[in-house]
Amino acid sequence: LETNNEYSYEKLTQTAEYLKSLISFTPQIGIICGSGLGSLADSIQQKIEVPYPQIPNFPQSTVKGHSGCLVFGYIATVPLVCMKGRFHYYEGYPLEKCAMPVRVMKLLGIELLIVTNAAGGLNPNYKVGDVMLIKDHVNLMGFAGCNPLRGPNEERFGPRFPSMNGAYDPRLRAEAQKIAQGAGLAKGVHEGVYACLGGPCYETIAENRLLRQLGVDTVGMSTVHEVIVAKHCGLPVFAFSLVTNESVCDYESKVEPKHDEVIDAAKSMEAVLQKFVQGIIEFVAKN
């Protein structure tokens, strides 16, 4: 076999048991912070921060705008765990390694995964600073055989051939529109399709044009493998993209995507998104 199954069920359990020994509650929600969105963790109360290097078997995050620690605590009285810093394929990790924290969070007991990302806006109606609820994805890397579930299947997590339908919880998406207004996203939020590419190059103009034709609304380098692993183990997902840059589809344009601008765009929306995520958590707590 080409896959080395670095993360056996036993190893993931070991990681989860270590983390359980540090906390006195069961987290109900897991949150993954996108590029520049690490401050989503700031509203967590009674914080317990666990740096990635301290966690057995955990990868390390290497990207600017992604610090590396798990933050445990409460938002709106809901016990949760937040990943401040995620892992990307372009850092050199295989997809199953990028997504392994999702299985660890499942073993910790979470019942919902909230995923956020910074992304390029392909849909011509999207502007920088807009939020798009993800209703579905195109697993482009999967077209080429790259999938976090590749290799022997672990039945204790889920089936060999999982359906991906309904991965992005429809009930929460329906509610999120209202919650967004309350959080100060006056124009509301879009709903659309996300695609993940391997990176680290941003897309070419020809690639952006192709993605548009494929019906993709936002593009980034994360999320899809995390959601696949979540759906496989039966975890509902609420996910959104923050449009941090407009994907260039025009050869006349002088605009180039730059990571510093991605971070700046994310920073300027942090407060609003913090409120938005809090609103989602409050709704989950009540329902």
Min dist CB 109 to ligand NOS, Å, is 28
Among 30, 85, 120, 236, binds ligand NOS (CB under 6 A): 120
| Contacting range for ligand NOS; rule: CB under 6 A; set: 52-60, 118-126, 141-149, 150-158 | 118-126
Among candidate residues 280, 234, 276, 192, the one with its CA nearest the CA of residue 106: 234
Phi, then psi, of 190 in degrees rounded to 5 = -80, 170
First to last CA, the chain: 45
Which residues are annotated as catalytic?
35, 66, 88, 90-91, 118, 221-222, 245, 259
274 binding ligand NOS? (CB under 6 A): no
Cα distance between residue 108 and residue 120, in whole Å: 32
Residue selected from 88, 137, 225, 231 as contacting ligand NOS according to rule CB under 6 A: 88
Nearest residue (CB) to ligand NOS, 109 versus 198: 198
Q: Per rule CB under 6 A, is residue 126 in the interface with ligand NOS?
A: no
Q: Which is nearer to ligand NOS, 89 or 157 (CB)?
A: 89
Six token digits for residue 137: 């994805």
Q: Does 59 bind ligand NOS (CB under 6 A)?
A: no
Rule CB under 6 A: say whether 118 interacts with ligand NOS. Answer: yes
Q: Binding ligand NOS by CB under 6 A: which of 220, 227, 228, 230?
A: 220
Q: What residues does 69 pair with on adjacent strands?
A: 51, 84
For the record, the structure tokens of 194 come out as 């996300």
Interface positions, 187-216, toward ligand NOS (CB under 6 A): 199, 202-203
Counting residues that bind ligand NOS (by CB under 6 A) gives 19
Residues 233-272 that bind ligand NOS (CB under 6 A): 244-245, 247, 257, 259, 262
Residue pair 217/190 in contact (Cβ under 8 Å)? The answer is: yes
Nearest residue to ligand NOS by CB is 120
The contacts of residue 99 (CB under 8 Å, 6+ apart) are 87, 148, 225, 226, 228, 229
Give the start-end residues of each E strand in the chain: 29-32, 45-51, 69-75, 78-84, 112-121, 131-138, 190-196, 218-220, 237-246
Nearer to ligand NOS (CB atom), residue 63 or residue 76? 63
φ, ψ (nearest 5 deg) of residue 40 = -55, -25
Q: Judged by CB under 6 A, does residue 93 bind ligand NOS?
A: no
Exposed e or buried b per residue across 191-204, where buried means at least 16 C-beta atoms within 10 angstroms of its C-beta: bbbbbbbeeeebbe
Identify the residue among 15, 61, 222, 274 touching ligand NOS (CB under 6 A).
222
Residues that bind ligand NOS (CB under 6 A): 35, 88, 117-120, 199, 202-203, 219-222, 244-245, 247, 257, 259, 262
